């Protein structure tokens, strides 16, 4: 504490050069401040601000290009969807037409096969009927011959 009081008592200034002493140092400090400001501005701040401005321009250019590409992408997507829908409809229509054609062909083939089978069955039935008649006639002859043979044996 004693040292502090001695320091305070010895720090009293007598005469000029108090707290605000305006002499040659103030203009020198002002010139140094201005000189440092100019040097920092030319060396450090202007390249950084130029770089930031170029980057901002780059970002805005890329944003506009991105917006254009997104718009073009949306247009192409819509066109693709419309074309895809029309192709789907056309494919469904072709599928229905081909199915209808194949159904008609199947029906015609079925009718043709049915007629062939009917004709074949008629032919087979006619042949079987003819063979039956022939067999029955032969059988009738055989039965009559056996009857005669039996009669002749019984008459003996």
> What's the distance, CA 136 to chain centroid?
79
Going by C-alpha positions, the residue among 92, 89, 90, 112 that lies closest to residue 100 is 92
Domains of the chain, by residue range, sit at 27-155
Cα separation values, 79 from 2, 69, 72, 135, Å: 94, 15, 10, 81
What is the reported pTM?
0.43
**How confident is the model over 65-113, as pLDDT tens digits?**
999 999 999 999 999 999 999 999 999 999 999 999 999 999 999 999 9
**How confident is the model over 49-76, as pLDDT tens digits?**
999 999 999 999 999 999 999 999 999 9
């Amino acid at each position: 504490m004693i040292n502090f009081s001695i320091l305070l008592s010895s720090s009293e200034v007598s005469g000029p050069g108090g707290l605000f002493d305006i002499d040659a140092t103030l203009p020198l400090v002002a010139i140094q401040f201005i000189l440092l400001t100019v040097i920092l501005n030319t060396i450090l701040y202007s390249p950084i601000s130029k770089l930031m401005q170029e980057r901002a321009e780059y970002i805005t250019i890329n944003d506009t290009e991105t917006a254009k590409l997104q718009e073009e992408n949306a247009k192409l997507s819509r066109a693709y969807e419309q074309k895809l829908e029309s192709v789907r409809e056309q494919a469904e229509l072709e599928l229905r037409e081909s199915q209808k054609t194949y159904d008609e062909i199947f029906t015609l083939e079925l009718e043709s096969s049915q007629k062939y089978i009917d004709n074949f069955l008629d032919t087979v039935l006619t042949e079987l009927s003819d063979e039956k008649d022939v067999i029955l006639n032969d059988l009738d002859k055989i039965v009559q011959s056996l009857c005669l043979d039996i009669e002749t044996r019984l008459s003996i």
